[in-house]
């Protein structure tokens, strides 16, 4: 995953253990068990992948301003790397965490969700896609580049003790959300499923990408990518999709 790769290269020079944590709230806006189920199934896959690389994953329960600083103190961690979110509540969480950490612990924000970082693409609120699109297009040669090839099989500085694996079933059951909306049958969660969907969409012979330009707005034609859930939950990087062989070829 792109997030994982960024973190690896950030921490390697310090020869320090790398911990990955996710703060889980019992409810979030109007999200149902369908949203949480998709997200947490993807996180379970991330945890399994990280453990193979000597990187512990911890599911924290509660508000980030309370759980994250305590987690850093418990494990004697020296820095925090977080992904960018344009949502007001996400900005509030980061501001509260930064205040709790104080000036002695750096908090680094990266935009791993977008190809061109938001703060680079534009320095103001755009009126629409027509004004933002040309700005992004001009920057693509600098940012739409291949991923580093030096993937790590094992992180060389593991912690003294790995935590117990997360009980994902119990975590899902603990949520106070609407359980009446079940999971999707067509959308299997996780990074592996995301790559399968990308492969289906960009298939050279009969992939929906061949019809996407002209027929994507026709509900009677199967021309959509169906990748939005994977982009939304960070299970597939848009950069990875854009670099997929065939994705930038003319239909």
Chain centre distance of CA 207: 25
Among candidates 83, 81, 88, which has minimal Cα distance to 118? 83
**Do 136 and 16 share a structural domain?**
yes
| Residue 72 sits in the same domain as residue 149 | yes
- The CA distance from 203 to 211, in Å, is 12
CA-to-CA distance for 194 and 230, rounded, in angstroms? 6
Which pLDDT belongs to residue 147? 81
Please give the residue that has the higher pLDDT: either 248 or 94.
Answer: 94
Check pLDDT > 60 for residue 201: yes
Least confident of 13-17, 113-117, 204-208: 13-17
Q: How many domains does the chain have?
A: 2
Count Cβ atoms below 10 Å from residue 159 Cβ, excluding itself. 15
Domain containing residue 42: CATH number: 3.40.50.620
Average pLDDT over residues 223-238: 91
What are 60's strand-pairing partners? 23
List, for residues 70-127, the tens digit of each pLDDT value. Answer: 998 888 888 889 888 888 998 999 999 999 988 888 888 989 889 999 999 999 988 8
């Amino acid at each position: 995953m792109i997030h994982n790769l960024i973190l690896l290269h950030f921490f390697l020079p310090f020869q320090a253990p790398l911990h990955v944590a996710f703060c889980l709230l019992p409810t979030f806006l109007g999200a149902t068990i369908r949203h949480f189920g998709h997200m947490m199934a993807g996180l379970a896959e991330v945890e399994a992948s990280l453990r193979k690389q000597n990187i512990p994953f911890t599911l924290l329960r509660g508000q980030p301003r309370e759980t994250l600083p305590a987690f850093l103190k418990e494990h004697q961690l020296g820095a925090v790397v977080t992904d960018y979110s344009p949502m007001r509540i996400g900005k509030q969480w980061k501001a509260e965490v930064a205040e709790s950490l104080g000036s002695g612990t750096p908090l680094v924000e990266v935009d791993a969700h977008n190809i061109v970082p938001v703060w680079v693409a534009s320095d103001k609120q755009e009126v629409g896609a027509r004004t933002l699109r040309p700005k992004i297009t001009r920057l693509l040669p600098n940012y739409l580049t291949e991923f580093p090839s030096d993937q790590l099989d094992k992180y060389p500085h593991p912690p003294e003790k790995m935590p117990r694996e997360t009980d994902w079933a119990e975590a899902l059951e603990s949520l106070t959300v609407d359980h009446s909306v079940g999971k999707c049958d067509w959308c299997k969660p996780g990074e592996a499923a995301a790559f399968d969907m990308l492969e289906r969409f960009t298939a050279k012979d009969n992939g929906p990408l061949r019809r996407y330009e002209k027929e994507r707005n026709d509900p009677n034609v199967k021309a959509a990518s169906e990748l939005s859930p994977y982009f939304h939950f960070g299970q597939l990087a848009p950069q990875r999709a854009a670099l997929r062989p065939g994705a930038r070829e003319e239909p």
